[in-house]
Structure 1
């Protein structure tokens, strides 16, 4: 992973206006009040016995931690925010705002910072849809407070 490229992408999203409607962007997806960027994507694991997935997951966790160190230098220590309860609340019919509702379906927790003076939140998380599917390191910029 190229940390400088990831930081540049996060900076770009922090400066970018939010769109009026949900849609795809060159880095992921965006919608009213948020941007989600795919910072890194693994290959799939269809032929894996579980070993490659575990090794890749450990590497992605290390990459997330390395990127989090750089963001901590900017904004201080992150909050660790679990999205498991958000997923349960959304599944029970509670109206949870995006990007939190959608993220909770495949990102178990995030590192979360309030970007000083911007009114925006920055989050990093690992997307785990299923053990056969690729892992993704995601960067999120939103003006929507965490639920």
Structure 2
């Protein structure tokens, strides 16, 4: 994985207009008010071979350190509460509903002056090859 390319993608998503409909962009899923980018073992920015969850977690923390320096450090935000609320029938807005089903915790920042939130997590979806780094850029405030 390449930290500079991941940061460039996050920066581009922070300035790109959000789509009106749900769909796919050049970096992953998108919808009204959000983008979700994913990087995994099959991504051209990754080193050949399978990445363990520990490798992807370390990579996330490397990016998080740079974003902490930019926007200030925040503690990890656990996804269990959102999952439980969703299971109880509460409507959780996107992209938080999707990301809470994929990652156990997120690192979250608000990009000053943009009205956008940035989140980084490690996704462990069933039926996929290995862990993936997931970046969310959204105007939907975390709940």
Unaligned runs of 5+ in 2: 43-48
Q: Which has the larger radius of gyration?
A: 1
Aligned pairs for 1:1-16 (under 5 A) are: 1-16=1-16
Per the normalisation by structure 2, the TM-score is 0.89
Work out whether 1:104 is the aligned partner of 2:73.
no
2:136 to 131, 140, 144: 140
* 1:26–1:84 distance in 2 versus 1, CA, 3 Å: same
Per the normalisation by structure 1, the TM-score is 0.87
> Hey, what's the Cα distance between the residues in 2 that align with 1:14 and 1:121?
9
Q: Is the contact between residue 42 and residue 56 of structure 1 (CA under 8 Å) also seen in structure 2?
A: no
Q: Is the contact between residue 76 and residue 107 of structure 2 (CA under 8 Å) also seen in structure 1?
A: yes
Number of the residue aligned with 1:21:
21
Unaligned runs of 5+ in 1: 44-51
* 1:115–1:133 distance in 2 versus 1, CA, 3 Å: same
2:76 to 80, 83, 86: 80
CA RMSD of aligned residues (A): 1.8
> Hey, what's the Cα distance between the residues in 1 that align with 2:12 and 2:66?
16
Number of the residue aligned with 2:116:
120
Q: Is the contact between residue 20 and residue 32 of structure 2 (CA under 8 Å) also seen in structure 1?
A: yes
Q: Matched residue pairs, number?
A: 137
> Hey, what's the Cα distance between the residues in 1 that align with 2:62 and 2:94?
26
Deviant stretches of 4+, over 6 Å? none
Report the 3-state secondary structure (helix = DSSP H, G, I; strand = E; otherwise coil) of the residue aligned with 2:5. helix
